Structure 1
């Protein structure tokens, strides 16, 4: 009964100021209902936190005068007109905060002059003197407005407002706390480390179960999630609860927040992507670009959602800037997701608006096309050669190397590009490198030299000298073996148990990792591979030529990362790898991960490898 009386009192206080006395009959009915009420009530109903939360949830009234003032402020054309309206009326704390907020919402060119204006100072004094009577939401909006106007954080009025908010924190609902977080997060270090910031985090971490609105979850996750791992975990539960209620813009903010934190929460990403794919209408280009970029940063690809976004962005491609198109291509490349109509549309956009694209943007687009093994029109390569060759010296060292390798992957490299990276002045920088990227640079330079040697018969030179090839190969050597490669090599050792019939992980001048080399005679018998000459090896031990009818095979493992997402198509670099090995005279035996993982016994694995080797020899004999 006490809870009912308090509830009724709260409603009466929140109602209009006009009070009509109750008639005697109604009063007697209230007394009679109190007498027949049971004496024992559940203790939970009298809990103080429940009563406080009930009071906080009640709407804060705005009188008719406040509404009239708000209409006048909205109709004002300039900041001076707003201040003139304020001086013509009696201003209390709430009205002063409304005026200041309206000023902050306008595009103020001379903020310091506005802050020093006497009329504005009078509004600040009115808000400061009546600060205890201000509504919670008005108090928070006033703080945000003063921050937007550039008021000094050491100002006495601003500090007074922050102190008042600190005292009220426990009475603020979660919506108010979310509003307050937008004021504190962009603050400088002195404020961010202060008591107000700490208390806000404590309140949100303790009361996160009170969140009732999706927008509150988005605001707290976007502004405070990076400050507390525990809070982020709690907010993830709320995201799962409201997953079907988020708008596309709210979903975008949530995934952006995860990407900024590097937090790859698969359950949340899958649920949000599913509801976005199932229930939302066509997405705007800004949302699509943000989602694709975040997916790429988190290495997460919801195939149906990405496919839908790539289809939705094609008709909107003319609306995108050159930077956005370059970013879109990069996201698709990182996701390893190829959409041929979209790539063709990007190629056409580059040709039609070539002047709006910078040279570096065109280079990055061709890099991403090469990774996806997408071959654009010949006109696009003509544009690349026309724009890039004169500006080659102005490009960064890394970009020059990647560009030439991409043209090698797409089989459109020309002599000027090859000569640029194979000259001593260029490769000497790679030999002197000691950074973590030096190994990757060595691999790329070896592969470019391999292209010039094996796929460009008209290339006049220069090529990398033998001693440089050996230095680069030793520097690029990797001892890391994937589980697939280890397993395949173990099975091959069982199939060919004779003394050293195979050679594993051979360092070579081609820049490719050879998982296993074999020399088979015409009867499929393995010959000792080290007895025969191998000019591609850094240190060839054998001197005998291959016998008549013998064939040199190489077993190459294709891991999951070598393919397009949810596809059996190889990425561009590994398609070039196949071409190079075939041009070097090898019979290539490929072992893709999706076939190997279906083999659940050693006998099946041995039979599979034997069949693949016999199949490669049979195809060569048929040719």
Structure 2
């Protein structure tokens, strides 16, 4: 609008654009009219406006004008300009020791925002040049220059920028100030007021840095940040924040953790090797077995170059996979290929960690485990008894025998004879049982385990653990009886073991579908004659047989109730087994009984086969991968007859 378009009746000039714009809105027109002592009636106001303005008033509804004004205001908000750099800022950037920061502040005191920046830089330099804050003398925090800096921060805390305030709070936490320190309390209170205005990255930093503190105010601040993230989780769009937050999962709600895992799956392609390591270790620590996320991270880990496969990365990834029982053969093979050249330089702790993790996964890579055995042989003096114990237990779990066994076991026995008695009862039992599996148990290792004193020490444990160790002691006693006859009174050992409290387990509670089906078909094999078959046989050796049968020279089942059964607590019948008759033990072998991706039995089941063989049984194995291919009962009966014939033929050939 120009002055020529005005009819001359306006009491305000029509030239300034601001006034013209104001006249467009009823409320401002009313105020302008009152300022010039005009009547407040709407017709009077309208009559004093320029014709174009009056026409616009009649055309535009009130709600449209108001919303237009609000949108205009939002769009005309200008971003605050950065303050000009000062000499203090330059000195702060150039500082190399904490004293430089304090001197610069003393000579060039700044604003509260600058106080926050310099405080953060001062803590960084203290840690860099002097080490941890808790190792510093208390007088350091009493420096008047530092006090003045913190006082300025506290007094002008409302003027500090959000990002700088977050950094300042981190610095205060690093300094280990008392929970009720006035400066720290002031900054934390201000942060709590601003919590809704922080970006998701700043919220992530607060959670990361504050998660380890126990003060009530800090806990409240971290919880408020977590609540904001739970409401605004869709904003998270960078890998570092995702990995940081997942690592603090113990403080988060399950819902937020699920959403963070979804975010991690979305950004998995952008994860660095370090991010993958950090996330997988965090999931393992929280026992969160997120299979889709683990698969995605494993796939992207395989794409990384060899330079990214550091020893630390492989140690932690092996631990995470083992803890979560997550199998990824391609990753295991890649790790084995990267590890093999490095094994001679690995420390005993690293060898133990890697072998133990792969042992949990039941993954036996022969060249890698040969290298582990050679590492021990070459550096046995560096291994303590606990590290050696873990090596032995892992080898026994996988049933692994080193190719240079004589040299390896010579050094093992040399260390055990000096240190074995120092182990606590449970670990001592595990190590001795593992030596039984590896066929390296000596009577002097095993006899102390069957003494009343040792057995009583195992009583103070949970029922499941007590039952497990009772079975191991039965295996130890069986090893002494069968492999070292005459070295110990098995009757005395059995008496001591009977005194060990144990809770009987119902056979129906532990039987698998495969075992149930095999036992059913065995009943069909003997035409339902109960006197020709025993099922679910608990032996004195500590092993449970799915079925027991005696066959004659023509492989026909006979009545077994009348024959002696030294493997049973009842002793069986009174007759000796006739010449040409054979005692069969049927054993089902499930998927978990084998090493991963192979048909090699784990050490526990090789020990069982050896004990049954020495006890006079012919073992008839029924592996899952053969049984599940049989469709009809007729095929299964024929399969069992064929297995019996082959087992008897092999025994005759020996």
Counting only pairs closer than 5 Å after superposition, residues 326-341 of structure 1 correspond to structure 2 as 326-341=352-367
- State the 1:545 CA deviation: 1.9
Larger displacement relative to structure 2 (133-142 or 90-99): 90-99
RMSD, aligned α-carbons: 2.9
Determine if the alignment matches structure 1 residue 514 to structure 2 residue 545: yes
Measured in 1, the distance between the counterparts of 2:157 and 2:539 equals: 77
Asked if 1 retains the 8 angstrom alpha-carbon contact of 2:210 and 2:222, the reply is: yes
Determine if the alignment matches structure 1 residue 371 to structure 2 residue 390: no
Secondary structure of the 2:550 match is: strand
Q: 1:400 to 1:418 in 2, by over 3 A?
A: same
Asked if 2 retains the 8 angstrom alpha-carbon contact of 1:470 and 1:509, the reply is: no
- State the 1:443 CA deviation: 0.9
Determine if the alignment matches structure 1 residue 493 to structure 2 residue 518: no
Determine if the alignment matches structure 1 residue 612 to structure 2 residue 639: no
Determine if the alignment matches structure 1 residue 401 to structure 2 residue 420: no
Counting only pairs closer than 5 Å after superposition, residues 165-564 of structure 1 correspond to structure 2 as 165-188=191-214, 190-191=216-217, 193-194=219-220, 196-224=221-249, 226-282=251-307, 283-376=309-402, 377-430=405-458, 435-456=463-484, 460-465=487-492, 467-468=494-495, 471=498, 475=502, 478=505, 479=507, 480-496=510-526, 497-564=528-595
Q: 1:146 to 1:428 in 2, by over 3 A?
A: closer
Measured in 1, the distance between the counterparts of 2:185 and 2:202 equals: 19
Secondary structure of the 1:587 match is: strand
Asked if 1 retains the 8 angstrom alpha-carbon contact of 2:531 and 2:560, the reply is: yes
The equivalent of 1:588 in structure 2 is 619
Q: 1:78 to 1:420 in 2, by over 3 A?
A: same
- State the 1:247 CA deviation: 0.7
Secondary structure of the 2:546 match is: strand
Q: 1:348 to 1:541 in 2, by over 3 A?
A: closer
Measured in 2, the distance between the counterparts of 1:396 and 1:249 equals: 38
Cα deviation digits, residues 321-346 of structure 1 (max 9, x gap): 32222222211111111122222222
TM-score normalised to structure 2 length: 0.82
| Unaligned 5+ runs, structure 2 | 1-66
Asked if 2 retains the 8 angstrom alpha-carbon contact of 1:474 and 1:507, the reply is: no
TM-score normalised to structure 1 length: 0.85
The equivalent of 1:101 in structure 2 is 120
Larger displacement relative to structure 2 (132-141 or 275-284): 275-284
Asked if 1 retains the 8 angstrom alpha-carbon contact of 2:213 and 2:219, the reply is: no
The equivalent of 2:166 in structure 1 is 140
Secondary structure of the 1:262 match is: coil
Q: 1:550 to 1:147 in 2, by over 3 A?
A: same
Q: 1:84 aligns with which of 87, 90, 103?
A: 103
The equivalent of 2:154 in structure 1 is 128
Asked if 1 retains the 8 angstrom alpha-carbon contact of 2:249 and 2:286, the reply is: no
- State the 1:462 CA deviation: 4.6
- State the 1:540 CA deviation: 2.3
Q: 1:433 to 1:199 in 2, by over 3 A?
A: closer
| Unaligned 5+ runs, structure 1 | 1-44
Q: 1:157 to 1:432 in 2, by over 3 A?
A: closer
Measured in 1, the distance between the counterparts of 2:591 and 2:467 equals: 22
Q: 1:432 to 1:230 in 2, by over 3 A?
A: closer
Measured in 2, the distance between the counterparts of 1:336 and 1:418 equals: 26
The equivalent of 2:54 in structure 1 is none
Asked if 1 retains the 8 angstrom alpha-carbon contact of 2:88 and 2:110, the reply is: no
Asked if 2 retains the 8 angstrom alpha-carbon contact of 1:533 and 1:542, the reply is: yes
Measured in 2, the distance between the counterparts of 1:375 and 1:153 equals: 57
Q: 1:563 to 1:340 in 2, by over 3 A?
A: same
Measured in 1, the distance between the counterparts of 2:473 and 2:255 equals: 46
Asked if 2 retains the 8 angstrom alpha-carbon contact of 1:517 and 1:553, the reply is: yes
Q: 1:64 to 1:587 in 2, by over 3 A?
A: farther
Cα deviation digits, residues 438-459 of structure 1 (max 9, x gap): 11111111111211222235x6
Larger displacement relative to structure 2 (504-513 or 138-147): 504-513
The equivalent of 1:40 in structure 2 is none
Measured in 1, the distance between the counterparts of 2:500 and 2:149 equals: 74
Secondary structure of the 2:521 match is: helix
Measured in 2, the distance between the counterparts of 1:225 and 1:211 equals: 19
Cα deviation digits, residues 375-403 of structure 1 (max 9, x gap): 23322212222122122221111121111
Measured in 1, the distance between the counterparts of 2:561 and 2:500 equals: 19
Asked if 2 retains the 8 angstrom alpha-carbon contact of 1:371 and 1:572, the reply is: yes
Greater Cα radius of gyration, structure 1 or 2: 2
Q: 1:217 to 1:466 in 2, by over 3 A?
A: closer
